[in-house]
Amino acid sequence: MNNLSKNYINGEWVSWSGPTLDVHEAGTGDVIAKVPASGRDEMEQAIAAADAAFADWSESSLDQRIKVLEQLHAGLKERAGEIAETVCREVGMPIKLATGIQAGLPATITKTYLKMLPDFPFSEQCGNSEVQYAPVGVVGCITPWNYPLHQVILKIVPAIAAGCTVVLKPAEIAPQSAYILAEILDGTDLPKGVFNLVSGEGQTVGDTLIKHPAVRMVSFTGSTRTGGLIAHAAADDFKRIALEMGGKSASVILPDANLAAAVKGTVNNCLLNSGQTCTALTRMLVPADLHDEACELAAAAVARMTPGNPLEETTRLGPLASAQQRDKVIDYIKLGIEEGHTLVAGGPEAPEGCDKGYFVKATVFGNVKPGSRLEQEEIFGPVLCVIPYQDEADAIRIANGTQYGLSGAVWSADADRAKKVAGKLRTGQVFVNGGDFNPLAPFGGFGHSGIGREFGKWGLEEFLEVRSLQL
C-alpha cells in the first residue's frame, strides 16, 4: 500500500503533510504504519464530494451498481491474503482465523448482496399507491477496529447498492484494510465522490461527520458510550442512525444439555478474536449443581488456547489490539479478584513467553455474582464469567439482567425447549445448540446494544427512505 499517507476524496488520493497517527503491530507493539490525523477541512471536502455525487448515483441503474459490486468482490478475493495478514498484524487475530473471517467475510457479504439485489423490490404496489424505496442520501460510516474491514463492508456495500454516497472514517487503531478497500474501489467503475475515506480521530473528523447537515445518515459500530454521543448529535439534525454497539451476551446451559459440548462451544465463542467481539458469549449460565464441573471444563478448554504469535498457523489465541485495550482487560481481571469471584484460570499476569505485544491470559471466573461489575460491564477481552442459577426462570432473569441485548445462546437436549427459552431472551440473535451464523439473517441489538439491523435485506433497508405515490 502506497497511499497510507493520504486520504481518498472525490476519486483522488489527496496527499497529507500534517500530523499522523501511529499504527501498532498487536503481537510486538512496533509501529508498522502511519496514517493522517486529518482535520475538519479534509472531512468537509469529502462530505462535499459525496453530496455532489449523490444526485447522479441515486439515479444510477441497478445494473450499474451490481457491476461495481462485482468488481469489488473480485478485488476482495484477489487481495484476500494481504487483507488477512494486515488485520492479523493490526488486531491480533491468528492468521488462520483472519484468513477465513477478516478476509473471507467481506467477500461473502458482498456476494450475498449481489445475489439479493436483482430481486429486491425497490418499488411495489399497495392498493392505488406505488411505494418507492429511495436512497437516504450521504451516509457517514464510523467503524471499529476489531473487525475493521468486515464492519466497513457491512455498511458501504448496502449503502452503495441503495444508491447512497459514503464518507468513511475507519478506526485509527486498525485502518490499513480500509485503505486496501479504497484502492480496490478506485479500480472499479464507481463514479468519483461516491466513496470517500478520511483518516483521523473521532473528536475532529468523526465529530465533523456526524454533525454536518449534508450527512443524512450515520452508521456506527463501536462502544455504547460513543453511540450515545452520536445519537444525541444526530437528533439535532434528525439524521437517520444505525448503531451496533456493545454486548454482554449470555450462554444459557440448561440442565439436560450436553455440558461438555456446551462449555466448549461457549469458550470458543468467548475467546474468538481474543474476546474482542461484540457478540462474545462472556457470561456462561449453568445450573448451580453443575457449576464446579462447568468451571473445570472451561479451565481445560482455555488451557488449550495459550497465547502465541498471531502470524503462526498453529496459534489459536492472539494478543489484544492495543496497549490501552490490554490494560483495560487486565484492570477488569483485577476487579474480578477484588469483587471476590473465584479465579478458575488465567489471571492478570502476562502470559509466559509473551513479553512483547499486547497479550492477556485467557481467564475464567467462577461463582460470578449477578449485578457485579464483572458480570454487567463489557470487558472486550478473553474473560469468561461462570454464573450459577437455580431454575429456568432464574436463568432467563439473569440472562436479561444487563443493559445489553446483542447476542446469546441456549443449549438443551430438547430442541423445542431450547427454542422456547431462546424466545424469552431480550437479544437480537440467539445461537440454539450451536447453530451456524447466517449472513443473510438480520443482525443487531436490543436496548443499549443498538438501533437498526445489518446483513441481508434488513441491512439494505436501513439505507432507504420510503415514499408513496398515490395514483
Q: What is the pTM of this model?
A: 0.96
CATH of residue 349: 3.40.309.10
Residue with cell 473480485: 74
pLDDT in tens, 200-218: 999 999 999 999 999 999 9
Q: Tell me, yes or no, whether 326 lies in a domain.
A: yes
Q: Are residues 202 and 280 both part of a single domain? A: no
pLDDT at 2: 76
Taking residues 403-430, report their average pLDDT. Answer: 98
- Give the ranges where 92-147 is alpha helix by DSSP (H): 95-100, 104-116
> What is the 3-state composition of the chain as percent helix, strand, coil, each rounded to the nearest 5?
40, 20, 40
Rounded Cα–Cα distance for residues 61 and 437 (Å): 32
Q: Please report whether residue 443 resides in a domain.
A: no
Clarify whether residues 217 and 276 are in a common domain: no
Q: Is residue 62 part of a domain?
A: yes
136 and 171 share a domain? yes
Domain range for 358: 250-438
Q: 295 and 162 in one domain?
A: no
Same domain, residue pair 257 and 239: no
Q: Is residue 38 part of a domain?
A: yes
What per-residue confidence (pLDDT) applies to 351?
93
**For 369, which DSSP code?**
P
The number of distinct structural domains making up the chain is 2
Kindly report the average pLDDT of the chain as a whole number: 97
Domain shared by 348 and 373, yes or no = yes
Residue with cell 451516509: 139
CATH classification of the domain holding 210 = 3.40.605.10
Residue among 86, 88, 110 nearest 98 (CA) = 88
Euclidean distance between CA atoms 179 and 325, whole angstroms:
23
- Beta-carbon neighbour count of residue 414 at 10 Å? 13
> Is 354 found in the same domain as 424?
yes
Q: pLDDT for 280-326, tens place per residue? A: 999 999 999 999 999 999 999 999 998 999 999 999 999 999 999 99
Q: What is the pLDDT of residue 306?
A: 86
Instruction: Walk across the sheet containing 129-135 and list its strands.
Output: 123-126, 129-135, 464-470
Is 419 contained in some domain? yes
C-alpha cell at 89: 498484524
Contact (CB, 8 A) for 257 and 387: no
pLDDT in tens, 21-42: 999 999 999 999 999 999 999 9
Q: Please give the grid coordinates belonging to residue 158.
A: 448496502
- Regarding whether 136 and 54 lie in a shared domain, the answer is yes
80-120 tens-digit pLDDT = 999 999 999 999 999 999 999 999 999 999 999 999 999 99
Give the contacts of 423 (CB within 8 A, at least 6 positions apart).
Answer: none
Q: What tens digit of pLDDT does each residue of 319-376 get?
A: 999 999 999 999 999 999 999 999 999 999 999 889 899 999 999 999 999 999 999 9
Residues 455 and 340 placed together within one structural domain of the fold: no
Q: What pLDDT is recorded for position 3?
A: 85
Mean pLDDT of the region 375-389: 98
- DSSP state for residue 26 in the 8-state scheme: T
Same domain, 361 and 411: yes
Task: Tell me the C-alpha distance between 347 and 343, whole Å.
Answer: 7
Burial of 419: CB neighbours in 10 Å, binned 0-12, 13-18, 19+: middle
Work out the percent of the chain whose per-residue pLDDT is above 90. Answer: 98
Cite the active site residues.
Answer: 244, 278
User: What is the spatial distance between Cα 252 and Cα 464, in angstroms, rounded to a whole number?
Assistant: 36
The pLDDT assigned to 168 comes to 98
| Whether 212 and 303 share a structural domain | no
- Whether 419 shows a pLDDT value over 90: the answer reads yes
Q: pLDDT per residue over 39-68, tens digit each?
A: 999 999 999 999 999 999 999 999 999 999
What is the predicted pLDDT for the residue at 144?
97
Q: Residue 1 domain-assigned?
A: no
Could you tell me the three cell numbers for 112?
450475498
Q: How many CB atoms lie within 10 A of CB 62?
A: 13
288 and 394 fall within a common domain = yes
